[in-house]
Amino acid sequence: MTRIAFIGLGHMGLPMARNLLKAGFPLSAHDLVPEAVAQLAGEGARAANDAHDAVQDADVVISMLPASRHVESLYLGDDGLLAYIAPGTLVLECSTIAPDSAKKVHQAAGKLGIDLLDAPVSGGTAGAAAGTLTFMVGGAAEALEKARPVFQAMGKNIFHAGPAGAGQLAKVCNNQLLAVQMIGTAESMALGVANGLDPRVLAEIMRQSSGGNWVLERYNPWPGVMETTPASHDYEGGFMSELMAKDLGLAQETALASGSSTPMGGLALHLYRVLLRQGLGKKDFSVVQSLFGAPEE
Ligand code: NAD
């Protein structure tokens, strides 16, 4: 059976690794937070002492880290992990990072005979827990075929976006659109409620009308409209605003490089920066609702 090393057991990594264990893959795990590793060890994973220990004997290495700098320092730093990974091993880099950063890691891995794919995901923590994530994959099609059974244990839709870095490009476009939908939904919810509409009724009308979108289907930012969303739990868990700000920054950098015009993405970035300055960076990105008015406690 394919042996997997999983590095980065945060909001997304932990439930993804759990699904691999459930599918029967032997798995070694590492995170800088020992409690996360201990939790997974209690469910059958081997608790690695560090990242180098985790990848020993692994056929597949998966990383799910916050941002480009974490990924580059893990794989390329002075004591970078790539030097400890055997040629022929498959590396699935699932974090959302800059497309250029992904290309850099691809290139270094390729020189060592390691098959690497950039494979960022969509679907949120609920999709990670349910094993229904979407993977947007950049890299060689043959490597994707080798990785498919592993992706299938964690996700439902697996797309080959193109060559190295293409998965990250698709992800950046998707998250820019997600932020714009979230902000638009939040301001419409606030507008309706300020004028006397019941938030649940308004949410359902818009969901089934021409304003319907993924946020209204699964992730309403108004507390109490959907019982299981972060909005109904003081905006805890989910996808942190600081990570959304990072992704919107990547979208702006990408747009600058290609001369593309992305005014909605630019405005979204600035609204998320306001939230960060308000100390809300660790809250779920639906906390953008608070900029437009949120319900009384
Ligand atoms: P998170 O901050 O909850 O988890 C990141 C984990 O990486 C943490 O547990 C941290 O301790 C660990 N870590 C950092 N550096 C490390 C290192 N050098 N070695 C080992 N562990 C290290 O973040 P998350 O919400 O799980 O997101 C992870 C990635 O997935 C991000 O790039 C994010 O943009 C992306 N993403 C998140 C969501 C979501 O809904 N949360 C959805 C899609 C994509």
Active-site residue, from 104, 171, 246, 283: 171
Residue recorded with tokens 């890691």: 105
The packing angle between helices 99-111 and 68-76, to 10°, is: 10
Mean pLDDT, range 148-168, rounded to an integer: 98
Share of the chain above pLDDT 70, in %: 99
Least confident segment among 78-82, 140-144, 249-253, 270-274:
78-82
Residue with CA at minimum distance from ligand 1 atom 37 = 239
Give yes or no on whether 4-163 and 169-291 have one common fold. Answer: no
pLDDT band at 220 (very low <50, low <70, confident <90, very high): very high
246 part of the active site: no
CA distance 263 to 267: 6
Domain ranges of the chain: 4-163, 169-291
- pLDDT at 139 (0 to 100): 98
Q: Is the CB of 55 under 6 A from ligand 1?
A: no
Q: Locate tokens 């490089």: which residue?
A: 257
Assess whether pLDDT exceeds 60 at residue 94: yes
**Per-residue pLDDT at 77:** 76
**78 or 229: which carries more pLDDT confidence?**
229
Per-residue model confidence as pLDDT tens digits over 66-75:
999 999 999 9
Mean pLDDT across the chain = 97
Class of 4-163 per CATH? Answer: alpha beta
| The domain over range 169-291 is classified in CATH as 3.40.720.10 | no
Spacing, Cα 187 to ligand 1 middle (Å): 28
Which has the closest alpha carbon to 287: 228, 219, 227? 219
Percent of the chain with pLDDT over 90: 97
Tokens of 49: 């002492």
- 185 close to 221: Cβ distance less than 8 angstroms: yes
Alpha carbon separation from 23 to 15, 94, 151, 245, 251 (Å, rounded): 12, 19, 11, 34, 35
- Its ipTM equals 0.99
Q: What is the DSSP letter of 66?
A: S
Phi, psi of 40 (to 5 degrees): -70, -35
- Degrees, nearest 5: CA angle 236-241-242: 120
Query: What are the tens digits of pLDDT across the range 188-206?
Result: 999 999 999 999 999 999 9
pLDDT band at 296 (very low <50, low <70, confident <90, very high): low
